[in-house]
Structure 1
Amino acid sequence: MNIALLGYGRMGKSIEAIALNRNHKITLKIANATDDYDFSNVDVAIDFSIPNAAVTNIKKALDAGVPVISGTTGWLENYDDIINYCNTKNGTFLYASNFSLGVNIFFEINKKLSQLMAGFPDYSTEIEEIHHTQKLDAPSGTAITLAEQIIEQTNYKNWTLEQPKADEIHIEAKRIPEVPGTHEITYNSEIDSISIRHTAHSRQGFALGAVIAAEWIKDKKGVFSMKDVLKING
C-alpha cells in the first residue's frame, strides 16, 4: 500500500517506521501546508499534522479521491464541514481522537462506568490528562472524547478547564516533558473515590493503530471511526 503522510513530526515518523515494517511504502510526505500535494501514487493518506493544517490536508486528499484518516486534534469546530465535504465528494474519511487499541477499549469502559454512575449524583466527576510539552492543544482530543461520553450518559452539560460549575466536568491538562499520554477519570464522594486510568508507555500504540486503520479503510467509501476498524459494538 502506498501511503501519504500529512504531517511529519514525531508521530509521522513513528507511523512511517511501522508502515515500512509492515511492507508499505511512503510515497508522499507533507511537512507543512505549503508543500506540493501530489496524490497520483497514493492509496491512503494519514494526517497527523497541526490544527491549522489539518482541514487543508484532509480536503486536499478528498479532492484527489484518496481515503484519509486523521488523528490531529484541535480542529474539530470544522468536523461537520469535513463530513459534509467528504459526502459531497463521495470520499472516505476516518477521524479518531486516539488510534490506540487500549484507548478505544478504555472509551468503552468509560462509557459503561458513566452509565453506572449516572444514578449516583453524590459523586462528582473530574478528568486529568497528561501529555508531552510539545502537544499544542489542551485538553487533548482523547480527554474531550471521554468528557463527551460522560455528558451523554449523565446530567453534566459541558466540560471546562476552569473552575467548574455544578453541571460541568473539570478537565485538568498537564504538560510534562517526554510523557506519551495518560488519562484518568475520577468519581469523588465524601465516602470514597472511583478511578479508571489509561497510561501509554510509548507512541507505538498510536502509530500502529493509525496504520491498521489505513489498511482497513483502503478501497472503502464513507465516514468511519475506530469502532468500525476494531469491530467494537455498543
Structure 2
Amino acid sequence: MKIALLGYGKMGQIIERIALERNHEIVLRKKSTDTFEGLEKADVAIDFSIPDAAVTNIKKCVDLQIPIVCGTTGWLEKYGEMVSYCLQKEGAFLYGSNFSLGVNIFFELNEQLAKIMHRFNEYNVSIEEIHHTQKLDAPSGTAITLAQGIIANSHYVKWTLDEALEGEIPIDAIRKENVPGTHSVFYDSAIDQIEIKHTAHNREGFALGAVIAAEWILNKKGVFSMKDVLDLKK
C-alpha cells in the first residue's frame, strides 16, 4: 500500500516507521511548506498535520479520490462541512480524535458508565486531560470525544473549559513536559468519587491505530470512525 503522510512531525515519523515495518511504501512526506507533489501516487493518506492545514488536506484527497485518515484535532468546527464534502464527492474519509485501541475501548467504557450514572443525580461529572506542552489545541480531541459520549447518554448538553454552569461538563486541560496523553473522567458526590482513566505510555499506539485505519479504509467509500475499524458499533 502506498501512503502519503500529510504532516511529518513526531507522529508522522512514528507512523512512517510502523508503516514500513508493515511492508507499506511512503510516497509523500508533506511538511507545512511542501507541496502536494506525489499525492496522486498514494493509495491512502494519513493526516497528522496542524489545525489550519487539515481541511485543505482532506479536500485535496477527496478531490483526488484518495481515502484519507485524519488524526489532526482542533478543527472540528468544520467537521460537518467535511462530511458533506466527502459524501458529495463520493470519497472516503475517516476522522479519529484518538487511534489507540485502548482509548477506543475507553470511549466505549465512558459511554456505558454515562448511561449508568445518568440515573444518579447526586454525582457531578468532570474530565481532565494532560498532554505535552507542544500540543496546539485545548481541550484535546480525545477529551471532546469523551464529553460527547457523556452528552449523548445523559442530561448534560455541552462541555466547557470555564467554570461549568448547569448542564455543562467541565474539562481541565493541563500541559506538562513529555506527557503523551492522560485522560480521566470523574463522577463526584458528597460521599465518594468514581474515576475511569486512560494513560498513554508513548505514541506508538496512536500511530499503529492510524496505520490499521488506513489499511481498513482502502477501497471503501463514505465517512467512517474508529468504531467502524474496530467493529465497535452497536
Q: The TM-score by the shorter chain falls in which range? A: over 0.9
Q: SS where residue 40 of structure 1 aligns?
A: helix
Aligned pair 1:27/2:27, yes or no?
A: yes
Question: Match of 2:167, as an amino acid?
Answer: D
Summarize the alignment of residues 82-121 of structure 1 with structure 2, pairs less than 5 Å apart.
82-121=82-121
The corresponding residue for 2:225 is: 225
Summarize the alignment of residues 138-153 of structure 1 with structure 2, pairs less than 5 Å apart.
138-153=138-153
The corresponding residue for 1:154 is: 154
Residue by residue over 1:185-214, the C-alpha shift from the partner in whole angstroms, topping out at 9 and shown as x without a partner, is 000000110000000000000000000000
1:81 positional shift: 0.8
The corresponding residue for 2:3 is: 3
Q: Counterparts of 1:139 and 1:86 in 2: how far apart (Å)?
A: 26
The corresponding residue for 1:66 is: 66
1:36 positional shift: 3.1
1:34 positional shift: 5.1
Structure 2 residues without counterparts, runs of 5 or longer: none
Contact 1:33 1:57 in 2 (8 A): no
1:68 positional shift: 0.3
Q: Counterparts of 2:34 and 2:2 in 1: how far apart (Å)?
A: 22
Q: Counterparts of 1:34 and 1:92 in 2: how far apart (Å)?
A: 24
Residue by residue over 1:78-118, the C-alpha shift from the partner in whole angstroms, topping out at 9 and shown as x without a partner, is 11111111111110000010000000000000000000000
Q: Counterparts of 2:135 and 2:60 in 1: how far apart (Å)?
A: 24
Residue by residue over 1:36-93, the C-alpha shift from the partner in whole angstroms, topping out at 9 and shown as x without a partner, is 3432210000000000000001111111110001000010111111111111111000
Structure 1 residues without counterparts, runs of 5 or longer: none
Q: Counterparts of 1:54 and 1:33 in 2: how far apart (Å)?
A: 14
* TM-score normalised by length of structure 1: 0.98
Q: Counterparts of 1:33 and 1:93 in 2: how far apart (Å)?
A: 24
1:167 positional shift: 1.3
The corresponding residue for 2:79 is: 79
Question: Match of 2:225, as an amino acid?
Answer: S
* Worse-matched range after superposition: 154-163 or 183-192: 154-163
Contact 2:27 2:38 in 1 (8 A): no
Distance 1:116 1:33, change over 3 A: farther
Question: Match of 1:206, as an amino acid?
Answer: F
Distance 1:73 1:181, change over 3 A: same
Contact 1:49 1:72 in 2 (8 A): yes
Percent identity over the alignment is 61
Question: Match of 2:227, as an amino acid?
Answer: K
Q: Counterparts of 1:13 and 1:84 in 2: how far apart (Å)?
A: 31
Question: Match of 1:165, as an amino acid?
Answer: L
Q: Counterparts of 2:34 and 2:17 in 1: how far apart (Å)?
A: 24
Q: Counterparts of 1:2 and 1:42 in 2: how far apart (Å)?
A: 5
Q: SS where residue 57 of structure 2 aligns?
A: helix
**How many residues in Structure 1 have an aligned counterpart in Structure 2?**
234
Residue by residue over 1:102-137, the C-alpha shift from the partner in whole angstroms, topping out at 9 and shown as x without a partner, is 000000000000000000011011100000000000
RMSD of aligned Cα (Å): 0.9
Q: SS where residue 153 of structure 1 aligns?
A: coil
Q: Counterparts of 1:46 and 1:150 in 2: how far apart (Å)?
A: 28
Contact 1:18 1:211 in 2 (8 A): yes
